[in-house]
Structure 1
Amino acid sequence: MPLLSIRNLSVTFDTASGPFKAVDGIDLVIDSGEVLGIVGESGSGKSVAMLGLMGLLPPSATVTADEIAFEGRDMQAMSARERRKIIGRDIAMIFQEPVASLNPCFNVGYQIKEALKAHTDLDRKARQARAVELLQLVGIPEPERRLTAFPHQLSGGMSQRVMIAMATACNPKLLIADEPTTALDVTIQAQILDLLLDLQKQHGMAMILITHDMGVIAETAERVVVQYAGQQVERQPVATLFDEPHHPYTAALLSAIPERATGTRLPTIPGVVPGQGDRPDGCLFNPRCPKADDVCRTVVPPRQPPALGEALCHYPLGADPRAPGDVPAGFGPDGGFQEGTGRPADIATDLRGDAR
């Protein structure tokens, strides 16, 4: 039985211009101890989907799903009180912009101990000791003194460590890390990723890592989901995805990794992720796709079989032999990347070398 199973999750916002579907029918399955990556540009619905799972979206949002099950229990059938017992204890989340996520009116110790008070039976003395222990575990020096610090007195990296301490305070079974290295310098990014992976292994917890950085995915994840404009456009094991992407959007993301670049200039994806007012017909990626034809512009694409990465595409890369003249710029003769453009392990090693 999977730890978390989500089927056909959608999130729709009521706006002044009408309803806007920010997340459109995504599926997720994650097992205990697994690291799942969710990758895509800003505006792909990565964070919104997980905030919908956590019940942290504003009243203007409507969350629907055919199934949301945690350890086999139907979360949609639970009362609000039952859900609160799971959210924050068994499922925890690290948010973007840690400085903004911490309450500026309370010191660090108070905020950590409030999380413990809400989800454990520890008394005041035990909560104090546990808070000190948590700051030690995340590598914060002088933890007793840091408990009295306010968020504005901490650096970005230190604030992120505090957020990780709060999220892991109750030893969750699933940790959702939403862009945990955003706005941090490269050295601190590497330290935070190391910390998250160490904690994940120590506690045996599953982790969903949300990011726009394919290099981070190569270094940390076992499986990866690629999202675009609220839709899942590809789902594969990370090594397979890096070796043979099947959706043109995935291939374009990978081609922008410096370690895979074959020319003097990095390839770019023209255009932007469509918003509420400029959703195209057919495939949502068709205005930016070098492979798009009239079918792509008019017909909603089918979901391909697992052998083709479950790509949401009419013409998945690698499905059929292609003539060199039909191959989009930046792709190899078989519709994939050319040899020698880097494997996940190579990219991870290069990133670590740069960080140090």
Structure 2
Amino acid sequence: MHYRTLGRTGLRISEIGYGAWGIGNSGWQGASDEESARALNRAIDLGLTFIDTALGYGDGHSERLIGKLLRERSETIYVSTKIPPKNRIWPARPGTPAEDGFPADHVIACTETSLRNLGVDTIDVQQFHVWSDEWVGRGDWLEAVERLKRDGKIRFFGVSINDYEPHNALKLIESGVVDSVQVIYNVFEQAPEEQLFPACEQHKVGVIVRVALDEGGLTGQIRADTVFPEGDFRQNYFRGDRKREVERSARKKSSRTWRLPQMRSPKRRFASSSATRRCRPSSPACARSATSSATAPSATDAALPPNSARSCARTAGHGTSIGIDPPKKKAEAVAPASFIPWEVRLSSSPCRPACSCRSRASCRAAWRRLPRSGGRR
């Protein structure tokens, strides 16, 4: 296991984190507490030290399972959790007053509940589960955050950015009051690279990457005959022919050699957790990984396969994170069969018959035209 520093927090966390939405049995259905406990313990056995949960995951059930783990294990385990908006609206809608989402009394009350669920005196990273930059300088939420820090009930403060709105936290980052942000970043969603990651790097804000493997669609575990339990949000997310397309992609075998160019300059080395993408062998940049740290992302989504490029791991649970150092030199590497070829990834896009995208932006635009469902990520 490799370890990185999460932004200016100074927390030295594992590159792989455990995303605990699934074990709460809300949104993601079907997990048993016994299986969840085995998965959590196995992750810790493998050196994992970072778990991301939320009060909204099973109305605190996920937090209580993690609290049990913390009492049973002697290792240092860092936990981040989230406060649900008082109005229970995901994502935050434009024009919503800060008082409707996170009034001070709600922030404090939810933090007290999470402390009891986890069985700890201090939460390492407390986050708002939705965010709108309209709330900067408005409402009394910041007073509550500062009070919780003074009282020693939370160490650091972060926000979970709305799905596919990485720009909607730039003002907060520039204000200097946030220690970490959580954002969707994967092979399909690369928008955070444009403004968010540079801003986080400049202000030393840690980044937690979520949905790194597209809600499980890139794990190879979704098949055409997969049936999700009633109430599972993936029933809608993988509706239509998406499950069949995902299975077909996973079965693709490739023996082609892909080139792995240097990802970034030495000054922009990311630390702690990420998502990795692969593109066409003919593309100028055919592989990229991102991780979190003082300068960028830590991820909480499903782990890459054991034979992925330089370092990786696999663990159970809704999500995990993965971080891979950018290679210092160009190197040849055989593409693992479990990675999905570029041509197949966009096969379910409405524009696929005419799609020969080579650029990141055009392919991202194609992917965004696919129907999406919201969720408490």
Structure-1-length-normalised TM-score: 0.36
Determine which structure has more spread, i.e. the larger CA radius of gyration.
Answer: 1
Structure-2-length-normalised TM-score: 0.34
Higher-helix-fraction structure: 1
